[in-house]
Amino acid sequence: MITVSVKWQKEMFKAVEIDTTQPPYVFKCQLYDLTGVPPERQKIMVKGGLLKDDAEWSTLGVKEGQKLMMMGTADEIVKAPEKGPVFVEDLPEEEQAINLGHSAGLFNLGNTCYMNSTVQCLHSVPELKSALIKYSHSGRSNDVDQTSHMLTIATRDLFGELDKSVKAVAPMQFWMVLRKKYPQFGQLHNNTFMQQDAEECWTQLLYTLSQSLRSSGSSESPDTVKALFGVELVSRVHCVESGEESSETESVYSLKCHISHEVNHLHEGLKHALKSELEKNSPSLGRSAIYLKESRINGLPRYLTIQFVRFFWKRESNQKAKILRKVDYPLQLDIFDLCSDDLRKRLEAPRRTLRDEEGKKLGLKSNEKSSGSKDNDIKMSDVEGSSNGSGEASNPTPDEAAGAMTGIYDLVAVLTHKGRSADSGHYVAWVKQESGKWIEYDDDNPIPQREEDITKLSGGGDWHMAYICMYKARTVPM
């Protein structure tokens, strides 16, 4: 790390840090934040000519305290007329961002699309943003290590930047802290940062936030991340050979959709994943035996995350290979039949209420029958498309949220992957806005998309295919 001064027009920027382990493009993104000059317009004079995006710092001879000269024009800012109508371009940037209808994109800092797409999906969860805003900059608990604290602060600040900016944001601080907390994201190949697995980034980031937000001293929600994303599972583990049987409970942040030649739909893949075999020691047999593990959902989150298990380790090539099989997923997902008997009973009344609400919109009479039957579930799914979480209780406690759950979820974000390996290719986020419109976040380029095209990201070729889906719970007032 070296420090330089940068002269641009009549301004002098002192003590600008250069991380020489990163490509010059990252340095240009820093200057973009300082000057408003996009990286592609920057002309920076160094030894041998102009600074190129992919140059090697070691060959440029840049020294500590050196003064660099930069040329380039910043993005034009339209000045408001003294009188007359106020145009969108004349509003403060924060108001422009609100009028834009979606948040800003994120610059790719060198194979960081896995990180950008993860951030864009999680940024769409307003309850997570609210919890981060309340997180104190200086109030780190003794239970949280310094790097976890700094990553939580960096996430909070990056979310804030995305909400306030109309131009793409360079996530420099977040990226540096992420690599410090999880060094695997800083792996280099030929002096270039390597592509990483978006699911691993998603999992590690949520784990860190769960530790920090749980220890932040908030009495309202002692475990924010668990309340928002945690799925409670209850499992029956039995050995056919010995007759032994036991039960287990666990909390996970995502469900898996296993993909095989039998799986054509997300629901089928979820069912497969809730059944597994494991080998462990049998006390009665005095040796290892095969146990069958059958799980059921016993507690629902506000946001249900589902990972399509598309990657597996291929020994021949010594890398993660990808399953390209087409697996369809719905805009509305009903998981009632994947729940435990106890949870189904708790869901019956809210499901009746939801069906009655939807029936009233269609001019139907209230149905007093139980919602436990499969036929009723299908009918309810048919009429729920016009609702987008209307009637949700605002910021319920975890217990209230579970009481008002229906087991029905609406798709709000899809993280896709294009390519043949998890550690290569390209990741993109597709996020539903509060207005109901969908935006494709391809790094720094937000692109509006039609809702009917979102479910076409189901695989079967080399185009973008769903890797992670995030669904929001459809709830009813208690």
Q: Is 426 a catalytic residue?
A: yes
Residues 6+ apart with CB under 8 A from 312: 320, 321, 323
Which of 29, 102, 113, 258 is catalytic? The answer is 113
The backbone torsions φ and ψ at residue 60, rounded to the nearest 5 degrees and listed phi first, read: -95, -20
Can you say whether residue 110 is alpha, beta or left, with left for phi > 0 and alpha for psi between -120 and 50 degrees? Answer: left
Q: For the chain, first and last CA: distance in Å? A: 56
Which of 238, 265, 272, 426 is catalytic? The answer is 426
Closest CA to 155 of 138, 132, 139: 132
Q: Is 239 a catalytic residue?
A: no
Q: Which residues are catalytic?
A: 113, 426
